Amino acid sequence: MKKIVIIAIALVAFSCKGKEEESFGKEEPAASTEASSEGMPAVAQTPEELGATLFKGKGNCATCHQVDTKTIGPSVQDIAAVYKAKGGNIVAFLKDDAKPLVDPSQYEVMKANFAITKAMSIEELQGLEAYINSNLK
Ligand code: HEC
């Protein structure tokens, strides 16, 4: 009986040691691979690409604006066409410095997003404008 207990303890001790060594050896290279990919230089974006990323991402614009169909908000193509026809300034609108030109009856719905757009940098707003205008038919 005593012998079995000793063997059991020896086995447990041995298997624990084995696992520790194994995971130590495996984690090292994985961590360093991750660090090197994070450290890669950001790929340069055009304003239009930046705008597209913001529109679908942190700007949350795509929730209400489809490219070619009116959903909750007017389509991106319609916005681009109206701003071209009326000579409007999308950056000024998104900074809450200009009146709505597309669908003033629904302005209140869009206004809720100024909290997001007013916190954006001028480069980001110009990116959104470039992205919207790039969808002009
Ligand atoms: C909750 C829904 C919703 C979200 C999210 C949203 N919009 Fe709108 N947007 C609207 C509605 C509704 C209108 C129509 C009212 C209007 O024309 O002002 C509109 C209108 C617009 C217009 C035309 C404004 C004008 O002159 O009439 C622009 C430009 C615009 N949105 C850009 C954006 C951008 C950029 C984002 C993301 C940062 C965004 N929207 C997010 C609902 C939304």
What residue ranges do the domains of the chain occupy?
1-40, 47-133
- Comparing 57 with 36, the larger pLDDT belongs to 57
**Ligand 1 binding pocket mutation candidate from 65, 83, 107 (most atoms within 8 A of CB):** 65
pTM of the model: 0.76
Residue 46 Cα, ligand 1 centroid: separation in angstroms?
Answer: 22
Which residues are CB-contacts of 52 (< 8 A; sequence separation ≥ 6)?
A: 131
**Is 80 close to ligand 1, i.e. is its CB under 6 Å away?**
no
What is the CATH T-level fold of the domain 47-133, as seen in this structure? Answer: Cytochrome Bc1 Complex; Chain D, domain 2 (1.10.760)
Instruction: Report pLDDT digits (tens) over 21-51.
Output: 454 544 444 444 444 455 566 678 999 999 9
CA torsion, ordered 82, 85, 89, 91, to nearest 10 deg:
40
